[in-house]
């Protein structure tokens, strides 16, 4: 721990795990879905199902989905901004589901282009993690340059994607490849050491077998 | 940044101030230059002042559930026991605590729950002494150096160490800054930190209904008063028999031994008094109504 970890972050109160981290989960959702978000339904899990109301995590998640950052006071009026933006939202609590962490939630939603469901976790200190996307178990951390590639499980695909990243002179910090069944859909999560080049994304999208590419940049 | 004693030894052997050693060590460990560090803390200082201005402005709308307007009420009350600089600091700390509970923008320094103490102490001090912003930023860096040592040797999280690790740490950090700003010796910083932390040893985190309001806002008031007390004792030459590093280690051990019920879970302390339980029950029925009305 250094002095920068101690001093801050500059954020909305009252609790970094129940506000800042939750706002970041919303921001990540906004980055992962294509098009204009029309409807979201939020499910609170674990201890968050009890504590969300007092800490106003319901405002935090809608504010984050609207693209407001963790120090943006518009989050306090997130419901009004959502109505203005034509974003419909509902909330529920699921106390049966065993979440990956006590402070977890699910976002199910759709835009004018696609549907997307994710599970997000706020482990503390304003950090956010995505633990499920496109029905795949993943770990995507806020503050990293991450590329997600949904593709068909075919031989050689990983090597082709890695080759393109290398051609742009970018180092891959971590890589996780998961598939649900042989020859079916698979997901590749790459954490890159450098900011993501838009042209690189275009190149990866053109690889045969790649279905969707999404990026997160230090959200 | 693992030892207060080590910072002091380095300061004495190289004839540097506590502030200069923290700045040098930061460059060594993070690669951030002195000017980058100063720029970061200038932003932090500005955000602290903005959070107080917002908390005291006529436009401020409290969204706190349980505690409303205490900071302002105290600031407007007639003079009794505390000197003007301490009284103002206490009022500021409570006002920022309430702003934090109201979802306003604050600096979590070191945490959201303890966010009132350091700006309360330092902004009031600057108003009293007309100290320059540059020098106040040096004070903030001293406070952060102490906070980093506490975080590295023990913890700054209420869930891990109880309130001693949040409001207690904030009091120790603010006390260190005050000793530095008053031109105390580096050893006096050690004594001020030790005195502050010894006086909150074992303080539990017992938020009513899990909200960051009761007792948190008034704990910020306490930590603010404690910062002035600990720094003034140290500046008068009073020594702590137990050095700061050892007090921090003791705080860590005590924090570990505290049961989970007394560490932010709202399952003990004042959270489970009859009144505390009634408030928690009311809040959960409001929550269930909110969910049902979807």
Q: Strand pairing partners for A92?
A: A43
In this predicted model, what pLDDT tens digit does every residue of B136-171 receive, in sequence order?
Answer: 999 999 999 999 999 999 999 998 999 999 999 999
pLDDT score of A120 more than 60? yes
Map A3-51 to HEC letters.
Answer: HHHHCCCEEECCCHHHHHHHHHHHHHHHHHCCCCEEEEEEEEECCHHHH
> Is-contact A107 A120, C-beta < 8 A?
yes
Answer whether residue B91 shows pLDDT above 60: yes
pLDDT of residue A123: 87
Cα B28 from Cα A186, distance rounded (Å): 43
CB–CB of B294 and A15 under 8 A?
no
The verdict on B100 touching A (C-beta cutoff 8 Å) is yes
Q: Residue A219 above 90 pLDDT?
A: no
Q: ipTM more than 0.90?
A: yes
Distance CA A201, CA A185 (A): 19
CA of B82 to nearest chain A CA: how many angstroms apart?
28
Contact B140, B41 (CB under 8 A): yes
Give me the torsion for CA of B7, B8, B14, B17, rounded to 10°. 90
Predicted structure pTM score = 0.92
Residue B280: both structure tokens together = 């928690």
Determine whether the interchain pair A12/B106 forms a contact, defined as Cβ–Cβ distance below 8 Å. Answer: yes
| Owning domain of residue B263 | 4-292
Q: What gap in Å lies between CA A137 and CA A39, rounded to an integer?
A: 23
Distances (CA, A) of A89 to A40, A43, A141, A176, B294: 5, 11, 25, 32, 9
The correct answer on CATH 3.40.50.1820 for the domain covering A145-217 is no
Question: What pLDDT does A217 receive?
Answer: 85
A132 to chain B, minimum CA–CA distance in Å? 24
Q: How far is B80 from chain A (nearest CA, A)?
A: 31
**Domain boundaries, given as residue ranges, for chain A:** 3-141, 145-217
Interface of B with A in 257-286 (CB under 8 A): 283-284, 286
* Domain harbouring B130, CATH code: 1.10.4100
- Look up residue B171 and give its two tokens: 């009091």
Query: Does B152 reach chain A within 8 Å, measured CB to CB?
Result: yes
Fold (topology level) of A3-141: 60s Ribosomal Protein L30; Chain: A; (3.30.1330)
pLDDT per position as a tens digit, A44-67: 999 999 999 999 999 999 999 999
Provide the domain count of chain B: 1
Given the structure tokens 């976002």, which residue do they identify? Answer: A107
Cα distance between residue A157 and residue B216, in whole Å: 54
Whole-number Å distance between alpha carbons of B290 and B294: 7
Res. B262: pLDDT tops 60: yes
Say whether A14 and B100 touch across the interface (CB within 8 A).
Answer: yes
Alpha helices in chain A (DSSP H): 3-6, 21-32, 48-55, 57-65, 78-84, 157-167, 198-205
Chain A residues with CB-CB distance to B136 below 8 A: none
8 Å CB contact of B113 and A14: yes
Mean pLDDT of A132-142: 94
Chain A positions touching chain B (beta carbons under 8 Å): 1-16, 19, 50-56, 58-59, 71, 73, 75-76, 90-93, 124, 126
Burial B83-99 (b: 16+ CB within 10 A, else e): eebbbbbbbbbbbbbbb
């Amino acid at each position: 721990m250094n002095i920068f970890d101690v001093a801050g972050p500059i954020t909305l109160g009252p609790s970094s795990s129940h506000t800042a981290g939750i706002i970041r989960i919303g921001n990540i959702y906004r980055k992962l879905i294509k098009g204009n978000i029309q409807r979201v339904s939020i499910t609170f899990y674990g201890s968050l199902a009890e504590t969300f109301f007092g800490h106003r995590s319901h405002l935090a998640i809608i504010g984050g989905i609207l693209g407001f950052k963790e120090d943006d006071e518009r989050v306090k009026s997130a419901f009004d901004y959502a109505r203005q933006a034509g974003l419909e939202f509902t909330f529920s609590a699921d106390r049966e589901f065993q979440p990956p962490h006590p402070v977890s939630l699910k976002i199910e939603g759709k835009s004018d282009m696609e549907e997307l469901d994710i599970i997000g976790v706020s482990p503390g200190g304003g950090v956010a993690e995505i633990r499920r996307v496109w029905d795949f178990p993943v770990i995507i951390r806020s503050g990293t340059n991450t590329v997600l590639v949904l593709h068909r499980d075919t031989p050689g695909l990983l090597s082709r994607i890695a080759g393109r990243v290398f051609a742009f002179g970018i180092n891959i910090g971590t890589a996780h490849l998961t598939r649900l069944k042989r020859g079916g859909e698979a997901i590749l999560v790459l954490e890159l050491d450098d900011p993501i080049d838009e042209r690189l994304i275009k190149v990866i999208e053109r690889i045969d077998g790649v279905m969707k590419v999404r990026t997160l940049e230090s959200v | 940044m693992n030892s207060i004693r080590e910072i002091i030894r380095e300061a004495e052997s190289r004839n540097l101030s506590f502030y200069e050693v923290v700045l040098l060590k930061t460059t060594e460990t993070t690669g951030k230059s002195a000017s980058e560090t100063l720029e970061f803390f200038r932003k932090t200082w500005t955000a602290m002042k903005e959070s107080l201005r917002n908390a005291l402005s006529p436009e401020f709308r409290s969204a706190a559930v349980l505690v409303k307007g205490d900071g302002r009420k105290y600031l407007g009350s007639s003079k009794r026991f505390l000197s003007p600089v301490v009284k103002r600091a206490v009022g500021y700390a409570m006002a920022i605590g309430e702003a934090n509970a109201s979802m306003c923008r604050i600096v979590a320094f070191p945490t959201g729950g303890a966010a009132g103490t350091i700006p309360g102490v330092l902004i009031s001090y600057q108003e009293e002494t007309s100290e320059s912003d540059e020098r106040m930023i040096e004070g903030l860096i001293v406070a952060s150096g102490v906070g980093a040592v506490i975080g590295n040797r023990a913890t700054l999280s209420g869930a891990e160490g109880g309130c001693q690790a949040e409001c207690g740490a904030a009091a120790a950090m603010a006390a260190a800054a005050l000793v530095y700003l008053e031109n105390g010796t580096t050893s006096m910083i050690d004594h001020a930190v030790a005195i502050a932390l010894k006086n909150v040893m074992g303080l539990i985190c017992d938020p009513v209904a899990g909200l960051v309001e009761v007792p948190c806002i008034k704990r910020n008031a306490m930590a603010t008063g404690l910062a002035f007390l600990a720094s003034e004792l140290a500046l008068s030459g009073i020594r702590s028999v137990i050095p700061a590093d050892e007090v921090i280690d003791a705080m860590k051990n005590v924090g570990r031994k505290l049961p989970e019920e007394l560490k932010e879970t709202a399952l003990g302390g004042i959270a489970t008094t009859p009144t505390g339980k009634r408030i928690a029950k009311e809040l959960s029925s409001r929550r269930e109504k909110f969910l049902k009305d979807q």
